[in-house]
Structure 1
Amino acid sequence: MTSTSELTDHTGYWMRMVSNAVSQEFARKVSGEDVTVAEWSFMRALYDFEPTPPSVLAGRMGMTKGAISKLAERLVAKGLVKRAESPDDKRAHSLSLTAEGRAKIPVLASLADQNDAEFFGVLTKEEHEALDRILRVLAERGELKATPVD
């Protein structure tokens, strides 16, 4: 009879357990600022590159234009992002953070830093650096480029 591996025998099991806990707690934290993790990721991607056409943002985040449009709509409705028409092409537009959206970035980044410290602060500096290095290698070799938003 063949032996069947246990769930806990798999690295992916442990990665998912930690990832779920980190992600769920971060989602809880940012919800206090009335944004989702996906909205935070969108806003942060926009922060250093304003104004940005939606197609460029989609490429940068590894998302579809449709997903970017949905996020943009939600953030425009919340008053955190604004849309500006191109003076050359009325069909084209770019996205920028509003003053309120720009002011939220340091607050949300602080929550991300706090969340990381809470979960990964139990590691030594060397362990944390090794974990980051290994995860980056896995992402690079797996050609994983899409911004994780869920």
Structure 2
Amino acid sequence: MNRLVLGAVLALVLVGVGMFWWQGRAQVEQGAPPPMAQPVKPAPEDLPTDAAADLRGPAPPEATELTREEQRFFRFDRNRDRRITRNEMLSTRSAAFRKLDKNGNNLLDFEEWAVTTVQRFEGADSDGDRELDMVEFARTAPKPAQRKPACRC
């Protein structure tokens, strides 16, 4: 009795799979592109000649000048979809994070942050009085990125 029931269930499953496969093939064939037509060969008089004195091609596209804010935006927008995802925003900071993460465990402990901060403070405190005056504090400002010349003409 069990074999009979099992055989009937398997037969129904096979019929169901066959139906889904058959319907899927019909949808694929409906969405198929039409057959390609044979390419038409141009007449000899339609072919270009070497006398190109009076011919003009299309104008080259004009490059628009990006504003400073657009340049900053596109530095973060890696895939150029005009949206900045969280991963795109954080990816620019990963090099700075790796510098702070001394033991390389991808966790920034307070000690790792404190060591870097103390080293930065001591580097700026030139007279060693454990206080920063205005001139010493100005040395802690991030240095502007040096821009490379556009071309070496």
TM-score scaled to structure 2, two decimals?
A: 0.26
Rg comparison, structure with higher value: 2
In terms of fraction of residues, the more helix-rich structure is 1
In terms of fraction of residues, the more strand-rich structure is 1
- Return the structure number with greater relative CO, CA threshold 8 A, min gap 6: 1
